[in-house]
Amino acid sequence: MSISPLRDDTHGECEWLAPRPGSDVAIMLALAYVLATEGLADRSFLDRYCTGYDKFEDYLLGRTDGIPKTPQWAAELSGLTAHTLIELARRMASSRTLVTVSWSLQRVRYGEQAPWTGITLAAMLGQIGIPGGGFGHGYGSMNEPGTAPVPYPLPTLFQGNNDVDDFIPVAAISDLLLRPGEKFDYDGKQFTFPDIRLVYWAGGNPFHHHQDLGRLRHALGRPDTIVVHDPYWTPMAKHADIVVPSTTTLERNDLTCTRSDPLLVAMHAAVPRFEDARDDYDTFSALAYRLGFGDRFTEKRSAQEWLEYLYGQWRGFVLADPARAEDPPEFDEFWRRGHVRMRTEDDLTSFEEFRDDPQRDPLRTPSGRIEIFSADIDGFGYEDCAGHPKWYAPEEWLGGARAEQYPLHLIANQPRTRLHGQLDHGAVSQASKIRGREPIRMHPEDAVARTLSEGDVVRVFNDRGACLAGVVLDDGVLRGVVQLSTGAWYDPLDPDDPESMCVHGNPNVLTADVGTSRLSNGCTGQHVLVEIERFDGELPPIRAYDPPTIRRRL
C-alpha cells in the first residue's frame, strides 16, 4: 500500500491512499493507537528489544497532553477516514508488514519525527528482524536498503584526520555566511558559526538542494572569494570568482563500486579531456605542492597509480576472504576485462542478529535497544523535538492558517528525467520541459478553478519568491497539491536581483530556509505552500545554460 499524495510514487498493482501532505506522523500515531487500544501491539517485543515505550504510550493515549491520538483525530488532520485507518492497523497486525518511509519525509519541518514514528510503529508490530517485516528506510531513493553488502572493505582513499572542529549542518550554508559569531544548536551541543571569507566548492550544486535561493545569493555575496570546480556552467559556477574546469567521468579513468553492488567496474576514459579541463586530483595536487606539502598529499602517486594501488589493496582484502568464489585478477587483467564480480552476503534480513540476541548484537544506541523514548534527546529540552515521536503541526501545510493565502501544497521531489540537477541541459530532461519551463503537475479541478489548461505557462509564487513552470494535468495528484521537481537550473529574470523570479522553474526560490529542528537542523525544502496564476506576459528566454562573461582566463 502506498500512502502518498502522488499516485505514481509506486508502480504496478498497489492500493493508494492519498492523505494531506505533512500528515504522515499523525497517520502513524493513529495506527499505533489502534494497536495499543485493541491489544494488537507485541508487548513481548517491546519489553525485550525496546526502551521507553511506556512514556510514548502515555503521549499516544493522551495521558500527558489530554489529546488521544485516535483515528478520528488523525482523520481531521490527514483527510483519510477514521474507518480506513482502523482497518489498516488491523490488517498490519494480522499479516507480515514492512513499514517503510521515504527519505523525503525527513526534508520537512520536524522531519525527524516521521522515521522515528515509523520505527515505533514497526516495533509495536513486533516484526523487526523477520524476513519481509519490520522497518525499512529509503527503498525508493537508494540501491542499498535491504540488499546484501560486500563483506570486505571497498577500494577507498584514507580520509585522514580533520583538525578543524568547526561544524555546520549541511542545510545551514546561508546561516554560516550571514551569521558569523552567532551560536546554533545541534544534537544537544551548541556551536558557533565561524567567519568564512573563502568558499571552495568542489562537487555539488547548492542551487539544486538549498532552500530560499534569494537568501543564498545574499549569503554568497559576503565572502571575499568563491572558487568552484565544475565541468558545466551551473548556477554555483556562475556565482564564483574563480572557476576550475574539471573533467567529467567520461574524460578520466576511475573505479566505481558500492557496498551493495557485486561489480567493481573499471571506468575507462571514453573521450579526451575538453580544452583546459583537468581531474580534481591533479588540481588539488598542484595546490598541495604550491602550499608546500605536495608529496604528503599525493604520496608521490599519479591518479593512475592511485587506481592501481587502491585496486591492489582491495584485492588483498578479497584474497583474505575464505568464502571467495575465485581469486580476483591482477590490475592489468582487471583493467582489460573491465570489471570483476564480488561476493555479497546472501539472504540479508535487517536486524536479524539483533532479534536473535539483543545482548550479543546490540544496536548502536545508548541503550543498545530501539529507543522509542530517548533520555538523551529528552534531556536536550528542545521545544521542537521531544524525547519520543510526537506530532508537530507544520506551518507549510494545508491544515494551517498560511494555506488561506497560499492554498496549494507544492511537493518539490526528485525528478524522473535527470539525477538531481545533473544533465538538466541534456536531451532527456529537455524533452520534459513545457515551452522551456520545468513541468508542474496539478489536479484538473485545481486547474479549472484557476482557468488553466494543459501546456499553459504559470507563475508559481508565495511571499518568498516566484518561478515560471508549465502545466501538466494529472488526476494522480491529490487535489490541492502540485508537484514541481527540483533540479531545473536557476535562471533569474534579473541576474542582479537576488529576489528575481526564476524563469526556468526552480522551486527553491519558494522554500523557507529553516531547519527541521534544533536536533539535526536538516533541510526542509520538500514542502512549501504556493499559489498559481497564468503567466500572460512575453515569455523570457532561458539563459540557464549560457556561460557568463569571463573577466580573465587564468
Tell me the mean pLDDT in the region 72-78.
98
* Residue 213 lies inside a defined structural domain of this protein: yes
Residues 285 and 201 in one domain: yes
Residues 201 and 314 in one domain: yes
The residues that bridge with 481 in the sheet, in sequence order, are 409
Query: What percent of the chain stands above pLDDT 90?
Result: 85
Is the pTM higher than 0.85?
Answer: yes
Tell me the mean pLDDT in the region 382-411.
97
Tell me the mean pLDDT in the region 209-216.
95
Residues 357 and 268 in one domain: no
Residues 454 and 497 in one domain: yes
Least confident among 51-65, 128-142, 234-248? 128-142
What is the tens place of the pLDDT at every residue in 373-393?
999 999 999 999 999 999 999
* Residue 157 lies inside a defined structural domain of this protein: no
How many domains is the chain partitioned into structurally? 3
Other C-beta atoms closer than 10 Å to the C-beta of 103 total 17
* Residue 546 lies inside a defined structural domain of this protein: no
**For position 69, which CATH number holds?**
3.40.228.10
What does the alpha-carbon distance between residue 432 and residue 246 come to, in Å, rounded to a whole number? Answer: 28
What is the tens place of the pLDDT at every residue in 323-348?
887 899 999 999 999 999 888 777 77
Helix axes 82-94, 71-78, angle to 10 degrees: 120
What is the tens place of the pLDDT at every residue in 171-198?
999 999 999 999 999 999 999 999 999 9
Closest CA to 192 of 215, 171, 167, 169: 167
pLDDT band at 553 (very low <50, low <70, confident <90, very high): confident
* Residue 163 lies inside a defined structural domain of this protein: no
What does the alpha-carbon distance between residue 42 and residue 51 come to, in Å, rounded to a whole number? Answer: 14
Residues 358 and 336 in one domain: no
What is the tens place of the pLDDT at every residue in 345-374?
777 788 999 999 999 999 999 999 999 999
**For position 424, which CATH number holds?**
2.40.40.20
Q: Compute the 3-state secondary structure of the chain and give helix, strand, coil in percent, each to the nearest 5.
A: 30, 15, 55
Residues 409 and 506 in one domain: yes
Tell me the mean pLDDT in the region 245-264.
91
**For position 292, which CATH number holds?**
3.40.50.740
* Residue 242 lies inside a defined structural domain of this protein: yes
What does the alpha-carbon distance between residue 307 and residue 552 come to, in Å, rounded to a whole number? Answer: 35
User: What pLDDT is stored for residue 9 in this prediction?
Assistant: 86
User: What pLDDT is stored for residue 277 in this prediction?
Assistant: 95
What is the tens place of the pLDDT at every residue in 132-151?
999 988 776 666 777 778 88
* Residue-number span of the structural domain to which 354 is assigned: 23-148+350-380
Look-up of cell digits 523477520: 130
Q: No. of H helices and E strands in the chain?
A: 18, 20
What is the overall mean pLDDT for the chain? Answer: 94
User: What pLDDT is stored for residue 107 in this prediction?
Assistant: 93
Look-up of cell digits 543564498: 216
What does the alpha-carbon distance between residue 332 and residue 311 come to, in Å, rounded to a whole number? Answer: 10
Residues 434 and 471 in one domain: yes
What is the tens place of the pLDDT at every residue in 517-535?
999 999 999 999 999 999 9
Look-up of cell digits 539472504: 347
* Residue 337 lies inside a defined structural domain of this protein: yes
Residues 463 and 486 in one domain: yes
* Residue 168 lies inside a defined structural domain of this protein: no
User: What pLDDT is stored for residue 554 in this prediction?
Assistant: 67
What is the tens place of the pLDDT at every residue in 483-518?
999 999 999 999 999 999 999 999 999 999 999 999
Are 491 and 238 in contact, with CB atoms under 8 Å apart?
no
Residues 180 and 314 in one domain: yes
Residues 311 and 268 in one domain: yes
What does the alpha-carbon distance between residue 34 and residue 29 come to, in Å, rounded to a whole number? Answer: 9
* Residue 544 lies inside a defined structural domain of this protein: no
* Amino acid code (one letter) for 121: L
State how far the alpha carbon of 279 is from the alpha carbons of 225, 246, 304, 312, in Å.
Answer: 22, 6, 11, 22
The residues that bridge with 175 in the sheet, in sequence order, are none
Chosen domain end from 314, 341, 368: 341
* Amino acid code (one letter) for 187: D
Residues 359 and 409 in one domain: no
Least confident among 196-200, 232-236, 244-248, 349-353? 349-353
Residues 207 and 294 in one domain: yes
